[in-house]
Chain A
């Protein structure tokens, strides 16, 4: 019997961080308001009381400084877990992430590694003001040297944060903020094999739908509805955006012949663009329709009263299913 408990994604990341901090005293957690408050989403709640100021502390509101000091601490042998408070606030740190964090192992010809995790609550759907609902993952997936992952459920949240902290490479850990309070089982004894493996969450035969992070729940919802209409969707949670587990996607596409890729991020030059291109390369003769991308529109994230129309929902996925099967 394995030890399975029910918890939210917030609690699962919290439990994963606690486990990683307890296992290795080189793990440090810092960022804006992560200490006594436990972060604006309470992801780090209770860790300050448990581990103290030397292991978890508030940083000044200076994102370049947060990531820059994380780089320096990693050089010193620490394993920093830095929180960027919201997706839209990561850009002051963009220079440190892309020109330094991502490249230092290569620049040093392997004398240094950069075991740094940058945690980023991302995505919309919470009725927030500007800069609090964005999906900037493609910028980082484009940068060699970074690993980019996003859990969609509590079990992955618990294990993937620990796997990210154990990685010798820098990991951008994107947390699906509108799913933070989604509950699910966490198997505390048996980790999933790797943080870069795609998981098939629902088997199907007609259309493959690839999603990650907050859109996985939406894709599963679409599959439920499609099933009532006699259509069988296969749902793949890729879990990792860099690298992407193409073997799992290709195997599914060979079976279904139809592929839809969905995410919240703006659609142009996005993760779905890349998957569409690669699947066309690797499974051209198996495709019975063009790959269809179902993403956010190519506009700045709209004001909250319009986000429902910006974000892809189950109906937009189902509309794409209709187009794909009708091709």
Chain B
């Protein structure tokens, strides 16, 4: 398992991982601080979203507490021309790519099903059906190959694709099919599995009998396990293999061993299936605390951490206000973008509903 930052915050590169250490060597203090800022922002966003759900402002929340290093580190390992196919828990990866977090909250409030522009952001829509996005990523990466944008040696031209999924999703057939299509097409692609050890209430042993990073090998997709709570390992290993993929090395799998500190969603009750001792063990391996220890040893002062807190509180205030301001979408939204052109059934039913709503008069119809 690749670990560059110990739980105590000690940085060290084992000899066999020297290739990854080079990527950390290239980072500056500003980069480390940026990692911390985004990880702490992700945590604060998460707790605020949970609170908003508890107040009835969101229909559901999908916490990612504990997975900050895996997401912020890997998100920064993705290049500016690359494409990201998330599942539905990648709020941190979204932060690294400047996605407006209100887009995520809108979806979980039930205003829409997504609705950001994947072509513009290169951060594709959240995928709710497990594993579906992984085969889309592979198809997309096949297209990158067909476009000749792999291995040209020109960093302005070459592209790679990264897809995120959890330990639970690995059981889906589409993920095995993705490994196969990726291998036979030599796609420029990294499969990033966050093994947070719980698929709702099912422990990872329900999904696999071999370490997950070995899952791709039989298909021709080599893999490695990293300490998913080590932001430097997550960054360096992702960056190296995305660089390699862009250069034509083909697909690669990264298993980030982490832990879902929170519930699967706000509808879940993890006390029914796992012990507090287990949760406490992982809380001691908190990825943000680990980076903080490292930064303090580098001489970073209290003032930096205090400033982060101030900024995060302002962010939380802002999203709370924006969430309260989100109204219900117009009724006609449901009839839009079902097809690219006018469609007789959609037009008929949309017109009927409009008339029906209008029949109640101004006080009851519509919004």
Chain A positions near chain B (C-beta within 8 angstroms): 28, 54, 59-60, 62, 64-65, 68-78, 92, 95-96, 99-100, 103-113, 144-145, 147, 167-169, 243, 246
Q: Please, which residue of chain B has its CB at the minimum distance from the CB of A92?
A: B173
Contacts A107-B125, A109-B114, A169-B340 given; does A68 touch B345 at CB 8 Å: no
Do A75 and B340 touch across chains, with their CB atoms under 8 A apart?
A: no
Do B339 and A145 touch across chains, with their CB atoms under 8 A apart?
A: yes
A-B pairs with lowest CB-CB distance, top 5: A72-B139, A68-B135, A76-B143, A69-B139, A65-B177
**CA of A54 to CA of B135, assembled, Å:** 19
**Sampled A-B contacts (10; CB under 8 Å):** A59-B181, A62-B180, A68-B178, A69-B142, A72-B137, A72-B138, A75-B124, A76-B140, A109-B115, A169-B341
Chain B positions near chain A (C-beta within 8 angstroms): 112-120, 124-125, 129, 132, 135-144, 146-147, 173-174, 177-178, 180-181, 184, 336-341, 343-345
> Which of A71, A105, A109 contacts B136, CB < 8 Å?
A71
**CA of A60 to CA of B139, assembled, Å:** 13
Question: What residues of B have a CB within 8 angstroms of the CB of A74 in the complex?
Answer: 139
Do A96 and B132 touch across chains, with their CB atoms under 8 A apart?
A: yes
> Which of A75, A96, A105, A147 contacts B337, CB < 8 Å?
A105
Do B336 and A68 touch across chains, with their CB atoms under 8 A apart?
A: no
Question: What residues of B have a CB within 8 angstroms of the CB of A145 in the complex?
Answer: 338-339
Do A111 and B181 touch across chains, with their CB atoms under 8 A apart?
A: no
Do B177 and A68 touch across chains, with their CB atoms under 8 A apart?
A: yes
Contacts A62-B177, A64-B177 given; does A105 touch B139 at CB 8 Å: no
Do B129 and A243 touch across chains, with their CB atoms under 8 A apart?
A: no
Q: Please, which residue of chain A has its CB at the minimum distance from the CB of B127?
A: A100
**CA of A299 to CA of B362, assembled, Å:** 52
Contacts A54-B146, A75-B140 given; does A105 touch B181 at CB 8 Å: no
**CA of A73 to CA of B248, assembled, Å:** 19
In the complex, what's the smallest C-beta–C-beta distance from A65 to chain B, in angstroms?
4
Q: Please, which residue of chain B has its CB at the minimum distance from the CB of A28?
A: B146
**CA of A204 to CA of B343, assembled, Å:** 29
**CA of A78 to CA of B143, assembled, Å:** 7
> Which of A108, A168, A246 contacts B118, CB < 8 Å?
A108
**CA of A72 to CA of B135, assembled, Å:** 7
Do A68 and B337 touch across chains, with their CB atoms under 8 A apart?
A: no
Question: What residues of B have a CB within 8 angstroms of the CB of A76 in the complex?
Answer: 139-140, 142-144, 147
In the complex, what's the smallest C-beta–C-beta distance from B265 to chain A, in angstroms?
19
**CA of A147 to CA of B184, assembled, Å:** 31
In the complex, what's the smallest C-beta–C-beta distance from B119 to chain A, in angstroms?
7
Main secondary structure of the interface of B (DSSP, over half): helix
Question: What residues of B have a CB within 8 angstroms of the CB of A70 in the complex?
Answer: 139
Do B336 and A75 touch across chains, with their CB atoms under 8 A apart?
A: no
Do A111 and B118 touch across chains, with their CB atoms under 8 A apart?
A: yes
In the complex, what's the smallest C-beta–C-beta distance from B335 to chain A, in angstroms?
10
In the complex, what's the smallest C-beta–C-beta distance from A2 to chain B, in angstroms?
28
In the complex, what's the smallest C-beta–C-beta distance from B266 to chain A, in angstroms?
22
Q: Please, which residue of chain B has its CB at the minimum distance from the CB of A60?
A: B180
**CA of A94 to CA of B135, assembled, Å:** 14
> Which of B112, B141, B147 contacts A72, CB < 8 Å?
B141
**CA of A99 to CA of B343, assembled, Å:** 20
In the complex, what's the smallest C-beta–C-beta distance from A166 to chain B, in angstroms?
11
> Which of B115, B138, B141 contacts A68, CB < 8 Å?
B138
Do A108 and B115 touch across chains, with their CB atoms under 8 A apart?
A: yes
Do B129 and A95 touch across chains, with their CB atoms under 8 A apart?
A: yes
In the complex, what's the smallest C-beta–C-beta distance from B245 to chain A, in angstroms?
15
> Which of A60, A73, A105, A144 contacts B340, CB < 8 Å?
A105
Question: What residues of B have a CB within 8 angstroms of the CB of A73 in the complex?
Answer: 139-140, 142-143, 146
Contacts A64-B177, A243-B344 given; does A112 touch B143 at CB 8 Å: no
In the complex, what's the smallest C-beta–C-beta distance from A84 to chain B, in angstroms?
15
**CA of A76 to CA of B147, assembled, Å:** 9
> Which of B139, B142, B336, B340 contacts A113, CB < 8 Å?
B340
Question: What residues of A have a CB within 8 angstroms of the CB of B136 in the complex?
Answer: 68-69, 71-72, 75, 100
In the complex, what's the smallest C-beta–C-beta distance from A35 to chain B, in angstroms?
13
Do A169 and B339 touch across chains, with their CB atoms under 8 A apart?
A: yes
In the complex, what's the smallest C-beta–C-beta distance from A164 to chain B, in angstroms?
13
Contacts A62-B180, A64-B174, A73-B142 given; does A100 touch B132 at CB 8 Å: yes
Contacts A72-B137, A72-B138, A105-B338 given; does A100 touch B129 at CB 8 Å: yes
Question: What residues of B have a CB within 8 angstroms of the CB of A147 in the complex?
Answer: 339
Do B181 and A60 touch across chains, with their CB atoms under 8 A apart?
A: yes
Question: What residues of B have a CB within 8 angstroms of the CB of A59 in the complex?
Answer: 181
Contacts A64-B173, A92-B173, A100-B132 given; does A75 touch B139 at CB 8 Å: yes
**Residue with the highest number of chain B CB atoms closer than 10 Å, among A71, A99, A109, A110:** A109
Q: Please, which residue of chain A has its CB at the minimum distance from the CB of B183?
A: A60
Q: Please, which residue of chain A has its CB at the minimum distance from the CB of B346?
A: A144
Do A64 and B118 touch across chains, with their CB atoms under 8 A apart?
A: no
**CA of A99 to CA of B174, assembled, Å:** 13
Q: Please, which residue of chain B has its CB at the minimum distance from the CB of A72?
A: B139
In the complex, what's the smallest C-beta–C-beta distance from A78 to chain B, in angstroms?
6
In the complex, what's the smallest C-beta–C-beta distance from A167 to chain B, in angstroms?
8
In the complex, what's the smallest C-beta–C-beta distance from B47 to chain A, in angstroms?
28
Q: Please, which residue of chain A has its CB at the minimum distance from the CB of B136?
A: A72
**CA of A318 to CA of B141, assembled, Å:** 54
**CA of A75 to CA of B141, assembled, Å:** 10
**CA of A251 to CA of B120, assembled, Å:** 47
Q: Please, which residue of chain A has its CB at the minimum distance from the CB of B120?
A: A111
**CA of A106 to CA of B113, assembled, Å:** 8
Do B174 and A68 touch across chains, with their CB atoms under 8 A apart?
A: yes
**CA of A223 to CA of B119, assembled, Å:** 53
In the complex, what's the smallest C-beta–C-beta distance from B181 to chain A, in angstroms?
5
Do A109 and B129 touch across chains, with their CB atoms under 8 A apart?
A: no
